[in-house]
């Protein structure tokens, strides 16, 4: 049944007297995931099930607060969980290109790092003290003296034999010389030797050769003695060093006896110190390179703490908003040294996945997909249950220089991806790995029921936003306005938007206007100004269109009556703004056999849904008027002055009214616009953007002048979607503008044509002089005209 809607039906007003806003502000305890029971259950399941592949995809539209809500939810769960341990990388003394990992209890990483640093400092002192001691010096000297004594005994005989045969043996740092001497002990060389007779020369040369051969044998024996002496010296150094080191290592070996990796590392340190005592004892030997500083000598003994969880109370929650490969998986840095780049295990850096290991890692999916290597590497890590720190250029073969290969780290992390529903369905369809790795979907709604409890919850969130952003307090009218705006945002009187990001933006902008006026509170005026200002910044195109209508460049009649012509309302969605725009729709009727022709379709300007609407309209005409006779007519429909594609079926009821007007020859009131789709039975169906459509037509009427005869016909089922601007509510209250709702085409006929629609009788005819009667009569006339023409043609 048609009815004109009262002002009270056009907007659901919050009864402020029902709520004690002051009490809510002071006592309300924020609830997790308000209005998101479905998402909450999914998150509860996902967090409680850490089996393979049960990572979570949080699906929701921008502004739904999903990132904040998930972080809050996880924080409540994570604080009850066990904190993970620390992770370190240490030098691999056998192969420095393969650094070793060491896992330690929570907070143990930095402690172990300090312990090893202290150990090396103490080792330096202990070794210095031990090797500077008198005991060591005496033992060392004894070994040297023993060697010298044995050496003297070894060469004693040959020295005497040489002397008895008038030969002298002289030792230099590089050789041993055997020379003949005269009775005074002077060497016989050069001219002296030449003056000797040949026989004497041959005799001396022969003896010299014999002595040299004997000396070579003795020198070899002496080398063995020297070697044994050096071994004894090295053994002495090792024993002294071990004695000094083992006492220092003893406490650490006891402390970490349950950590095999640490025990192995401590033994490796001990072996390396013993094998490189010169680095601790002989500083001069360490200055072979200009770049070799004192610190770099002992770099290999440092501990690189990759994750330090000492500050944690529960499981870690890491949010990586810029998930580049390095930010997620870490990297191996390089540093310049004498014109080249070098690296070592101390330059290994962990990423977000290391910090989150043992807890939760939140990643925005869109940003992750923009970093292709990150997405593929994340999937690989989840499938292998381990994460490897490696250079991305080396990973994909772009780097030829040798880099480090640190031990892989076992992965125990739950990934929470945050993204839109569209991205979820795309990945689910196109990526086989995605559906196996992200088995839990937590879907965020955009609205909740408009109940008393939910209004309290909504207000509680508003006050929380106010506090977090250091905003001015809201007065009572401002909070009720925001709640009404929340219903408007979802186009539903019975729902509230929970896209708190959008609400927060309104609040921040409203504070700006409040401060400009030096107010200490945000009032209703400031909220409305923020909403209107945001709209104004984006509605230039709407204003230009309305200006063209006012100047009659777009011909939209807003008064009087015309046959076969009606105002429909289309919607323009520009992304940041949606607004309604009136369109003149005309219908032309003639005798013929083509039936209903949609000019938009013929011009290829109609989308499939619009075409479907026109075909449904045709079905209505056939059922209504072709039960006992065929319909022989040519009817054309067109959106006048429309040159872009038209999509949707919300104008199908308006198109039908235009056809009925043209057939019945009854004029349509031009001050009334129509929106609503129809089915083949003549029922008017709901459409979207109902508020924008009414407001768009109202703006056009207002600029040319409200007459009190103008208004909009909407589907009855859209009544619950009405949350119109207060200006329109006031205009309806003052009878300057009207809004009617209808359930059927017949109800709209009475309003538009000012004539009863009529009822279909048992014989399929219609009430006399009704609109349907006149339409049926005109169809008979068109049939007769066509038949007469056909007979004449024959």
- 691: pLDDT strictly greater than 80: yes
CA dihedral 437, 440, 445, 448 (to 10 degrees): -170
Residue 640's pLDDT is what?
92
All CATH 1.10.8.60 domain ranges in the chain, comma separated:
15-35+445-536
The structure tokens listed for 360 are 């939760």
Predicted local confidence at residue 395, as pLDDT: 64
**Contact by Cβ (8 Å): 745, 657:** yes
d(CA 65, CA 497): 11
Q: Looking at residue 401, what is its pLDDT?
A: 63
Given pLDDT bands bounded at 50, 70 and 90, which one contains residue 791?
A: low
Q: In the structure encoding, which two tokens stand for residue 707, read together?
A: 């007459």
Pick from 64, 63, 16, 15: nearest CA to 39: 64
- Of all helices (H) and strands (E), which one includes residue 444? none
Q: Which pair of tokens denotes residue 252?
A: 């650490």
Give the position of tokens 């508003």: 462
The pLDDT of residue 236 is 80
pLDDT of the residue at 290: 30
Q: pLDDT band at residue 397, thresholds of 50, 70 and 90?
A: low
- Fold of the domain built from segment(s) 543-762: Ribosomal Protein S5; domain 2 (3.30.230)
Long-range contacts at 420-427 (CB < 8 A, ≥ 24 apart): 420/59, 420/60, 420/61, 420/62, 420/365, 420/366, 421/59, 421/60, 421/61, 423/365, 423/366, 423/369, 424/57, 424/59, 427/365
Which of 570, 650, 653, 661 is catalytic? The answer is 650
pLDDT digits (tens, 9 = 90+) for 302-323: 999 999 999 999 999 999 999 9
What percent of the chain lies above the pLDDT cut of 90?
56
Do residues 471 and 479 touch, judged by C-beta distance below 8 A?
Answer: no
Q: Which CATH number fits domain 55-83+317-442: 3.90.1640.10, 3.20.10.10, 3.40.50.300, 3.40.50.2300?
A: 3.40.50.300
Residue 40, SS3? Answer: helix
Task: Give the mean model confidence (pLDDT) for residues 506-511.
Answer: 95
**Is 650 among the catalytic positions?**
yes
Domain with CATH 3.30.230.10 in the chain: 543-762
| Mean pLDDT on 739-763 | 93
- pLDDT above 80 (res 392): no
Name which of 137-151, 365-379, 457-471, 690-704 the model is least confident about. Answer: 137-151
DSSP letters spanning 280-328: HH-GGGG-SSTT--HHHHTGGG--EEEE--TT-SSS-EEE-SS--HHHH
How many Å apart are CA 264 and CA 257, to the nearest integer?
10
CA-nearest of 24, 27, 28, 33 to 75 is 33
What is the rounded CA–CA span in Å between residue 551 and residue 542?
14
Q: Judge contact between 178 and 215, C-beta under 8 A.
A: yes
Q: Which residue has the tokens 């965020």?
A: 444
| Residue range 768-780: mean pLDDT, rounded | 91
d(CA 240, CA 385): 47
Residues 6+ apart with CB under 8 A from 585: 565, 566, 567, 568, 637, 638, 639, 640, 651, 654, 655, 658
Q: Which residues contact 295 (CB under 8 A, 6 or more apart)?
A: none
pLDDT in tens, 67-126: 888 988 999 899 999 999 999 999 999 999 999 999 999 999 999 999 999 999 888 888
Q: What is the per-residue pLDDT for 294?
A: 47
Residue 741's DSSP bridge partners are 3, 714
Domain 15-35+445-536 has CATH 1.10.8.60: yes
pLDDT at position 630: 85
Sequence-ordered list of residues with C-beta below 8 angstroms from that of 94, at least 6 positions apart, any chain: 268
Residue where the block lists tokens 């103490």: 122
Query: Is the pLDDT score of 610 beyond 60?
Result: yes
Give me 388's structure tokens: 């490897």
- DSSP letter at 436 equals H
Does the pLDDT value for residue 53 go beyond 70?
yes
CA distance 699 to 642: 20
In percent, how much of the chain has pLDDT > 70? 95
Whole-angstrom Cα distance, residue 703 to residue 141? 113
230-252, pLDDT tens digit by residue? Answer: 888 788 888 888 888 888 899 99
Contact in structure between 566 and 658 (CB atoms under 8 Å): yes
Closest CA to 567 of 664, 656, 678, 654: 654
Residue with tokens 């619950």: 720
Residue pLDDT, tens place only, 255-291: 999 999 999 999 999 999 888 888 887 643 333 233 3
Closest CA to 501 of 3, 11, 67, 37: 67
Q: How far apart are CA 729 and CA 572, in angstroms?
A: 23
Which of 47-51, 161-165, 770-774 is least confident?
A: 161-165
DSSP string computed for 699-742? HHHHHH---SS-EEEEEGGGGGG----HHHHHHHHTTSSEEEEE
Closest by alpha carbon to 478, among 425, 438, 521? 521
Ramachandran angles phi, psi of 493, nearest 5°: -65, -25
SS (H, E, C) 588-623: EEECCCCEEEEHHHHCCCECHHHHHHHHHHHHHHHH
SS (H, E, C) 121-167: HHHHHHHHHHHCCHHHHHHHHHHHHHHHHHHHHHHHHHHHHHHHCCE
Q: What pLDDT does 233 receive?
A: 78
d(CA 88, CA 669): 81
pLDDT-derived band at 1 (thresholds 50, 70, 90) equals low
Catalytic residue among 9, 270, 693, 736: 693
Cα(589)–Cα(707) distance, integer angstroms: 31
Average of per-residue pLDDT across 735-764: 93
- Return d(Cα 163, Cα 178) in angstroms, integer: 11
Average pLDDT estimate for 679-695: 95
DSSP 354-422: HHHTTSEEEEEHHHHHHSHHHHHHHHHHHHHTEE----HHHHTT---S----PPPEE---EEEEEE-HH
Which of 27-41, 72-86, 281-295, 770-784 comes out lowest in average pLDDT?
Answer: 281-295
Mean pLDDT in residue range 764-776: 90
Residue limits of CATH 3.40.50.300 in the chain: 55-83+317-442
Distance CA 379, CA 182 (A): 93
- 612-648: pLDDT as tens digits: 988 998 899 988 888 888 888 888 899 998 888 888 8
Contact in structure between 101 and 389 (CB atoms under 8 Å): no
Higher pLDDT, 379 or 185: 379
Q: How confident is the model at residue 143 (pLDDT cuts 50, 70, 90)?
A: confident
Per the CB < 8 A criterion, the answer to whether 700 and 663 are in contact is: no
DSSP assignment string, 628-657: SS----EEEEEETT--S-B--STTHHHHHH
Q: What is d(CA 203, CA 47) in angstroms, rounded to the nearest whole number?
A: 102
Can you tell me the mean pLDDT for 684-694?
A: 95
More confidently predicted of 553 and 178: 553
Contact 301, 91 (CB under 8 A): yes
Note the pLDDT of residue 399.
Answer: 57
671: enclosing H helix or E strand: none
Alpha-carbon gap, residue 484 to 381, rounded angstroms? 47
Asked if pLDDT for residue 292 goes beyond 50, the answer is: no
Cα–Cα distance for residue pair 507/509, rounded to 1 Å: 5
Q: Is the pLDDT of residue 400 over 70?
A: no
- What does the mean pLDDT of the chain come to? 88
| For residue 790, pLDDT beyond 70 | no
Give the pLDDT confidence score for residue 285 in this predicted structure. Answer: 33
Residues 450, 541: Cα–Cα separation, whole Å: 34
Query: What pLDDT band is residue 684 in, cutting at 50, 70 and 90?
Result: very high
438: tokens are 């992200």
């Amino acid at each position: 049944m048609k009815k004109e809607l009262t002002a009270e039906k056009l907007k659901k007003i919050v009864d402020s007297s029902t709520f004690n806003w002051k009490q809510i502000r002071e006592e309300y305890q924020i609830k997790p995931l308000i209005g998101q029971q479905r998402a909450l259950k999914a998150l509860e399941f996902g967090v409680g099930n850490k089996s393979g592949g049960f990572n979570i995809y949080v699906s929701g539209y921008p502004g739904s607060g999903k990132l904040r809500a998930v972080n809050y939810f996880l924080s409540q769960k994570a604080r009850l969980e066990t904190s993970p341990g620390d992770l370190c990388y240490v030098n691999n003394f056998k192969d420095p290109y393969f650094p070793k990992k060491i896992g330690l209890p929570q907070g143990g990483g930095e402690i172990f790092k300090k312990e090893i640093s202290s150990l090396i400092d103490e080792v330096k002192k202990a070794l210095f003290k031990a090797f500077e001691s008198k005991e060591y010096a005496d033992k060392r000297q004894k070994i040297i003296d023993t060697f010298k004594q044995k050496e003297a005994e070894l060469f004693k005989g040959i020295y005497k034999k040489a002397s008895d045969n008038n030969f002298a043996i002289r030792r230099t740092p590089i050789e041993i010389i055997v020379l003949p001497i005269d009775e005074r002990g002077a060497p016989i060389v050069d001219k002296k030797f030449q003056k000797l007779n040949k026989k004497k020369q041959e005799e001396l040369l022969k003896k010299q050769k014999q002595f040299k051969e004997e000396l070579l044998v003795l020198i070899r024996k002496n080398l063995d003695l020297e070697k044994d002496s050096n071994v004894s010296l090295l053994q002495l150094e090792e024993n002294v060093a071990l004695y000094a080191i083992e006492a220092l290592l003893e406490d650490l070996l006891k402390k970490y006896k349950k950590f095999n990796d640490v025990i192995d590392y401590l033994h490796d340190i001990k072996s390396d110190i013993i094998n490189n005592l010169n680095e601790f004892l002989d500083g001069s030997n360490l200055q072979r390179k200009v770049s070799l500083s004192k610190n770099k000598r002992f770099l290999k003994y440092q501990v690189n703490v990759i994750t330090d969880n000492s500050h944690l109370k529960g499981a870690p929650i890491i949010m990586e908003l810029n998930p580049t490969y390095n930010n997620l998986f870490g990297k191996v840095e390089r540093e310049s040294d004498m014109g080249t780049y070098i690296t070592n295990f101390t330059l290994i850096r962990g990423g977000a996945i290391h910090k989150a290991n043992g807890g939760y890692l939140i990643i925005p999916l869109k940003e992750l997909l923009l970093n292709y290597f990150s997405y593929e590497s994340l999937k690989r890590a989840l499938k292998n249950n381990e994460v490897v720190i490696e250079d991305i250029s080396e990973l994909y073969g772009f780097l030829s220089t040798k880099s480090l290969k640190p031990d892989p780290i076992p992965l125990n992390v739950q990934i929470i991806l945050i993204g839109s529903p569209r991205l979820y369905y795309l990945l689910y369809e196109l990526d086989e790995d995605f559906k196996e790795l992200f088995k839990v979907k937590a879907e965020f709604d955009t609205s909740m029921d408009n109940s008393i409890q939910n209004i309290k919850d909504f207000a509680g969130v508003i006050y929380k936003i106010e506090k977090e952003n250091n905003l001015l307090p809201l007065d009572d009218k401002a909070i009720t306005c925001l709640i009404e705006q929340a219903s408007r945002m979802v186009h539903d009187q019975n729902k509230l938007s929970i896209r708190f990001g959008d609400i927060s933006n309104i609040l921040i902008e409203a504070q700006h206007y409040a401060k400009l006026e030096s107010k200490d509170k945000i009032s209703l005026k400031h909220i409305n100004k923020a909403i209107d200002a945001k709209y104004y910044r984006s509605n230039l195109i709407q204003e230009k269109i309305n200006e063209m209508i006012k100047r009659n460049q777009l011909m939209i009649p807003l008064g009087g009556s015309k046959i076969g012509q009606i105002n429909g309302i289309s919607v323009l969605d520009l992304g940041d703004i949606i607004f309604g725009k009136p369109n003149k729709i005309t219908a032309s009727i003639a005798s013929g056999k083509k039936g209903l022709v949609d000019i938009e379709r013929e011009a290829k300007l109609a989308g499939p849904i619009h075409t479907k609407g026109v075909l449904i309209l045709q079905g209505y005409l056939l059922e209504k008027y072709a039960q006992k006779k065929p319909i022989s007519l040519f009817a054309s429909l067109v959106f006048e002055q429309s040159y872009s594609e038209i999509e949707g079926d919300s104008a199908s009821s308006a198109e039908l009214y235009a056809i009925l007007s043209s057939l019945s020859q009854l004029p349509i009131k031009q001050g009334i616009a129509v929106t609503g789709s129809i089915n083949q039975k003549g029922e008017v169906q709901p459409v979207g953007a109902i508020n924008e459509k009414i407001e768009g037509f109202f703006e056009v009427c207002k600029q040319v002048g409200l007459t009190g005869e103008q208004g909009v016909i909407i589907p009855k089922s859209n009544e619950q979607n009405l949350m119109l601007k207060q200006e329109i509510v006031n205009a309806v209250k003052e009878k300057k503008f009207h809004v009617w709702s209808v359930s059927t085409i017949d109800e709209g006929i009475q309003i538009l044509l000012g004539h009863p629609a009529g009822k279909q009788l048992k014989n399929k005819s219609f009430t006399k002089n009704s609109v349907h009667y006149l339409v049926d009569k005109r169809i008979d006339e068109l049939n007769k005209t066509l038949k007469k023409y056909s007979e004449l043609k024959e």
